[in-house]
Amino acid sequence: MHLIAIKPIVLGSLASFFYRDAKIINAPVGMGYMFASNDLRARILRPVVRMMLGALLGRRQATTIIENSDDLGTLVEGGFLNRNQIVLIRGTGVNLEVFKSSPELEGNKVVVLIARMLIDKGVFEFVESAKAIKQTHPDVEFWLVGDVDPGNPGSLTSQQLQDWATSGVIKWLGYRNDVPDILKQCHIVCLPSYREGFGKVFVEAGATQRAVVATNVPGCREAVEDGRNGLLVPPKNVEALTAALTRLLDDDELRLKMAAEGRKRAENEFSSVTINSQTIAVYQQVLKPSRD
């Protein structure tokens, strides 16, 4: 049983009690709203979720795949898991035949944020940076790509996004299923998230050969090496985000150098072939006959 995300881990683990020989692989894929938000609901539920995860992840017949080294350290040092019960696999991989290296287009520069339209994805900080940069770079375009998530307490509203778009600060493209084409049209990919399991969009950007700006938080710094394939800034810091974006907008040589490094990282570390082989290796290890 390969259980992906917190709710399936809880439900699948309970179901596994009816089949005692089940081999279980848990994949929390980041801690999401529950661990990134500081609102009252998240603060109340967080200790309960931690206790539940500790009981379920730590079961003898369970193996956990984690996507970033920060979460790995938290789970081991916090006593949730022994080190031999956890495997680090960074993300789900990127298909290099779909996300192909592409030269930048001529014309106005475009900065894009691709994510669900949630507060903890740093959408507010992105918009505030766009307002500041447009004062000196009026031709730069800022795109938001992704839909609202009404079931998530941290979701923005459609009205808020439409208001920003009407004011001319950003373009809101909504939900799109043509992300490879979107990336080809942009010059910088930005995701000022408060926390990620693994910033897959940064790997897709790298495969397309685009420089990135990310926050120095779990999941983002796993995919972005500061100064190599992009720039890292503190979370919730509009001034630092604005400075980093402006630096890449103004320095074509640096931006293109980082973009090329992003493609190398995608090829050498994050291709679907590489990540799939790591996952299959976990299956093979879990299915080995017990020596008990």
Residue 54 belongs to domain with CATH number: 3.40.50.2000
161 and 245, same domain (yes or no): yes
Q: What is the pLDDT of residue 130?
A: 98
196 and 248, same domain (yes or no): yes
32 and 153, same domain (yes or no): no
Q: What is the pLDDT of residue 142?
A: 98
The answer to whether 66 and 75 have CB atoms below 8 angstroms apart is yes
277 and 215, same domain (yes or no): no
Each residue's pLDDT expressed in tens, for the chain with a length of 292 residues = 999 988 898 888 888 888 888 889 999 875 555 555 566 766 777 677 667 766 777 677 789 999 988 888 877 887 777 888 899 999 999 999 999 999 999 999 999 999 999 999 999 999 999 999 999 999 999 999 999 999 888 899 999 999 999 999 999 999 999 999 999 999 999 999 998 989 999 999 999 999 999 999 999 999 999 999 999 999 999 999 999 999 999 999 999 999 999 999 999 999 999 999 999 999 999 998 766 5
187 and 87, same domain (yes or no): no
Q: What is the pLDDT of residue 191?
A: 98
Residue 279 lies in a domain: yes
263 and 138, same domain (yes or no): yes
Q: Which residue from 266, 270, 90, 94 is spatially nearest to 179, judged by alpha carbons?
A: 94
73 and 216, same domain (yes or no): no
Q: How far apart are CA 137 and CA 158, in angstroms?
A: 27
49 and 115, same domain (yes or no): no
Query: Number of folded domains in the chain?
Result: 2
Residue 105 lies in a domain: no
278 and 258, same domain (yes or no): no
Q: What is the pLDDT of residue 197?
A: 86
The answer to whether 143 and 110 have CB atoms below 8 angstroms apart is yes
Residue 38 lies in a domain: yes
Residue 133 lies in a domain: yes
Q: How far apart are CA 110 and CA 104, in angstroms?
A: 10
Checking DSSP bridges between strand 188-191 and strand 211-215, what pairing results, if any? Answer: parallel
79 and 142, same domain (yes or no): no
Q: What is the pLDDT of residue 46?
A: 67
Residue 101 lies in a domain: no
141 and 262, same domain (yes or no): yes
Residues 6+ apart with CB under 8 A from 113: 121, 122, 123, 126, 142, 143, 144, 145, 146, 189, 190, 191, 192
Residue 247 lies in a domain: yes
Q: How far apart are CA 279 and CA 275, in angstroms?
A: 6
Query: For the purposes of burial, counting CB atoms within 10 Å of the CB of 284, is it exposed (0-12), middle (13-18) or buried (19 or more)?
Result: exposed
Q: How far apart are CA 261 and CA 254, in angstroms?
A: 11
120 and 26, same domain (yes or no): no
Domain with 41 in it: 2-93+272-286
Q: What is the pLDDT of residue 253?
A: 97
Residue 176 lies in a domain: yes
Q: pTM for the complete prediction?
A: 0.88
Residue 103 lies in a domain: no
Residues 6+ apart with CB under 8 A from 20: none
